[in-house]
Amino acid sequence: MIVTESKEETKLYLLVGGKGERLSSVTNGYPKPLVNVNDKPFLNYVLDDLKGFDVTLVCSNGTYDYFKYYRELGYGVINEGERAGTGGFFMTTRVPDSFYVMNGDTYFTGNLNLDVDKSTVFVAKEPIANDVGYIKGKNGKVEKFVEKDPTATGKKLVNLGLYKFYKRDMTLPMRLPISIEYDILPNMELEYKVLNTVRFDIGTPERLEKFKAWLPT
């Protein structure tokens, strides 16, 4: 369960626009977060763990029609347009002074408290894979982002794709597309918080099977 004790800073934007090309053998044309897991969309497992947050799904032109049903369940759904990038909605949506952003294709285990009062990237110390990014930092301060280093070995502070942002800390490029990873994070002063969690990123069929195997029967 992902929680916050704040009653005001609960806005969370869940990025669900990815089509999941590496997972195409099992998605049947649906967006990656909607892949079927035990007769239930993967996205629903993620949403079940976000109780207490005001969640808005961020879609693109090509995926919006798949997700608009979630409005009937009480979630916000916005279409950031075509090829706007992971941060394109910053330009098309009036975001609050502070908010969370999270990838919609990732599930986290454990009880995770996200209460922080500065712009923060959430990380976990885990063995590095060559297709995930990590950070270098000291004393809670991010010093550098490293994107998908195939030479990296051992355990690293892996970027979980989960952030809290304060607008006052952000500088946005005045164009689209906008990448959170390449256009926003490197230009911010950020702290990091280590979470005690196991991360299930369903980006490949093999990782999806690991999530299925972990679920209680």
Q: Evaluate if pTM is beyond 0.85.
A: yes
- Does pLDDT of 6 surpass 80? no
> Could you read off the pLDDT of 78-127 as tens digits, one per residue?
998 877 889 999 988 999 999 999 999 999 999 999 999 999 999 999 98
The CA distance from 67 to 174, in Å, is: 28
Cα diameter, the chain: 49
pLDDT digits (tens, 9 = 90+) for 117-164: 999 999 999 988 777 889 999 999 999 999 878 888 889 999 999 999
pLDDT digits (tens, 9 = 90+) for 202-212: 988 999 999 99
Question: What are 134's strand-pairing partners?
Answer: 146, 158
Under the banding of pLDDT at 50, 70 and 90, the label for residue 49 is very high
- In this model, does residue 20 exceed pLDDT 90? no
pLDDT of residue 178: 93
DSSP track, the chain:
-EE---SS--EEEEE-----GGGHHHHTTS-GGG-BSSSSBHHHHHHHT-TTSEEEEEE-TTTHHHHGGGGGGT-EEEE--TT--TTTHHHHS---SEEEEEETTEEE-S-EE---SS-EEEEEEEE--TTS-EEEEETTEEEEEE---TT--SEEEEEEEEEEEEGGG----SSS---IIIIIGGGS--EEEE----EEE-SSHHHHHHHHHHS--
Give me the sign of the Cα torsion angle 159, 67, 109, 122.
positive
Classify domain 2-214 by CATH number: 3.90.550.10
Pick from 59-63, 128-132, 191-195 the range whose average pLDDT is largest. 191-195
What is the C-alpha to C-alpha distance for residues 202 and 100, in angstroms, rounded to an integer? 21
Q: Where are the domains of the chain?
A: 2-214
